[in-house]
Structure 1
Amino acid sequence: MNITEYIASGILESYVMGAVSDQERREVECLSSIYPEIRQEIDQLAEALENYALLHSVEPPASVKDKILKELEFGQTNEKEHEPIIRALPTNGPTYRVTWIVAASMGLLLLLFSFYLLSELRTNQKTLAATRTANDALQLEMRQIRDNQSRTEQTMALLRQPGLRTVELRGNEKAPQGDMIVIWNTQTHQVAVDVRSLPNLPADKQYQLWSMVDGKPVDAGVFDATNGADLIQRLNRTVARADAFAVTVEKRGGSPVPTISTLLAMSPVNA
């Protein structure tokens, strides 16, 4: 028989607390009389549980003792009534201490169960917080998708309309790699830009499109160097007439007049 596995099975703890069947009790008592290791383990468990019970025991009020003594009647009795009753204590199995041990064990189990419930509550709270965070992120992503879809639909509607013209603008020596297309509808006067390649600007700067009418620049709206992140940017200005289009770098939000020194590209409409 493997004594180590039998001790580790937990049957001895249940035996000490009186939580075994009659058959299991007889088995433990039989084996404890054969193997000293089992008897020693039972004694150690009983002592540990007793110490726990004594450590958490509560002293009853003194008034309880007085009340009990008052209820006892000490009249004249014969000698047999005063003769002590002697009963043999069992040599095997749980002793009178088992009741206290069981009570202490139940208290310990309740305490452990309370800690378990508290741990589960904290875990559920963390899970709920993580779920809410994920839900907020998902809602933000859905809003971005809807916005992108709306812009795409507006762009497709713009491209399907009659009267559409496109003008390609290439950068000069200040932006040799610059390349973009102006999309202009001569009937609805709407204008958009498709930026293929433009240098990134500081946060306080922005590109501005100008329509040239009889040699005079007219504000056509501002846009950013998205470098292909957005396919087409619709501008917030309308262009009724244009002989050419030009691009300059201005302060964010645009300027009423172009800064000639920052001119990056210009191309006539009929080119």
Structure 2
Amino acid sequence: MNMREYIDSGILELYVFGLLTEAENNEVKEMADKHPEVQEEILSIEKAVINLSYSIAPHLSAENYQKIRNILIEKHSGVIPLEPRKKSMSPYIGWAAAAVLLLGIGFQYNQYNKAQDEVQAVSAERTKFQSMLADLQVKKTEDEKALAIVRDKYSTVIQLAGQQVAPDAYAKVYVNSNKKEIYVDMAGLPEPPEGKVYQIWALKLDPLTPTSIGVIDNKNANNGILKVENYDQAQAFGITLEPAGGSATPTLEQLYTLGKV
């Protein structure tokens, strides 16, 4: 067998793919050492396999590798036919799936934000409603308390008429001898000027002895019916307009209402 026939026999391809026995491998190595053309052919086959591998895929799979090896074994003497590589749709499908996923996430995030806004709006409305309900409950309690004071059979009503400084003013004092309590209805008094307050006085008439039983900062609290200190010896009650914090003695020039027991 001449050298051309040896090269064309296919033994060199089998050697490159590691399919020979140990003895056959040693024989090919000896031939390659003795004959440069055999060594060149081995290198050419190895180079062709490498180039072929990269032309098919960046990472040759075991299946494709076996196909290439079989073709090399069966058709070692001519050009190895390869079908043109079909362009894979996988990358495009992957990008499309990613885009759909991002759109889905964006939609869900938008829906989540809308739901959160709705929850916050409902929560704000509920808080507002609860606040209104609490205010109504307080007012209801105040109304019931005021009504109970007025209707209590032990309550004595003292009418306080308007005086020279405020002729149209009026007030009522409720003295409950059973509970030892005194309430003043201030609904008939005008709003005090800024920095001024109303002060309630229990009076002894002979000699005239005033005793402060309350300073009212907000005449409209509790529906205008306000509890003051009890004073059993009162013979009359008067209301004066005083500086904020009240006065030690009544300012008679600012006497708004007065009434005897």
- What is the TM-score with the length of structure 1 in the denominator? 0.59
Instruction: Give the letter for the 1:259 counterpart.
Output: T
Alignment size in residue pairs? 198
The equivalent position to 2:254 in structure 1, one of 253, 256, 262, is 262
Letter in 2 for 1:221: G
Q: Judging changes above 3 Å, is the alpha-carbon distance between structure 1 residues 150 and 263 closer, same or farther for their aligned structure 2 residues?
A: same
| Structure 1 residues 137 and 106: alpha-carbon distance in aligned structure 2, compared to 1, 3 A threshold | same
State the partner residue of 1:163: 154
Cα 1:136–1:254 shift into 2, 3 Å: farther
2:73 is aligned with 1:82: no
Q: Does structure 1 retain, via aligned residues, the 8 Å contact 2:139–2:222?
A: no
- Alignment counterpart, residue 236 of structure 2, candidates 234, 239, 244: 244
Matching residue's letter, 1:162:
K
The Cα of 1:246 is off from its aligned counterpart by: 0.8
TM-fit CA distance, 1:142: 3.3
Question: What is aligned with 2:209?
Answer: 216
Matched, 1:191 2:182: yes
Mapped to 2, the partners of 1:202 and 1:137 lie a distance apart of 32
Aligned to 1:45: none
* CA distance in 2 between partners of 1:67 and 1:97 (Å): 15
1:66: how far off?
Answer: 5.5
Q: Mapping of 1:45-64 within 5 angstroms? A: none
Q: Report Cα offsets for 1:143-164 as digits up to 9, x if no partner.
A: 3333333333333332333332
Indicate how the Cα distance of structure 1 residues 154 and 97 shifts in structure 2: closer, same or farther if over 3 A, else same: same
What do the CA deviations read for 1:68-107 (whole angstroms, capped 9, x no partner)? 28973463542787235479x9xxxxxx676554433322
4+ runs of 1 displaced by more than 6 Å? none
Mapping 1:8-23, distance limit 5 Å: none
Unaligned runs of 5+ in 1: 1-61, 90-95
Q: 1:86 to 1:225 in 2, by over 3 A?
A: closer
The equivalent position to 1:174 in structure 2, one of 148, 165, 168, is: 165
Task: Tell me if the contact between 2:184 and 2:228 (Cα under 8 Å) persists in the aligned partners.
Answer: no
Task: Kindly state the Cα deviation for residue 110 of structure 1 after the two structures are TM-superposed.
Answer: 0.7
1:207 to 173, 190, 198: 198
For 1:236, give the aligned amino acid: V
Deviation at residue 112 of structure 1 after TM alignment: 0.9
Deviation for aligned residue 1:212: 1.0
Classify 1:232/1:199 alpha carbon distance in 2 versus 1 (closer, same or farther; 3 Å). closer
Post-superposition offset of 1:241: 2.7
Contact 1:210 1:217 in 2 (8 A): yes
Change (3 A) 1:126 1:66: closer
Larger Rg: 2
Deviation track 1:124-144 (CA, whole Å, cap 9, x = no partner) reads 322333333333333333333
* From 127, 130, 135, the counterpart of 2:118: 127
- In structure 2, the residue corresponding to 1:212 is in which secondary structure? strand
1:146 and 2:144 are equivalent in the alignment: no
Uncovered stretches (5+) of structure 2, i.e. residues with no partner:
1-53
In 1, distance between residues paired with 2:162 and 2:144? Answer: 29
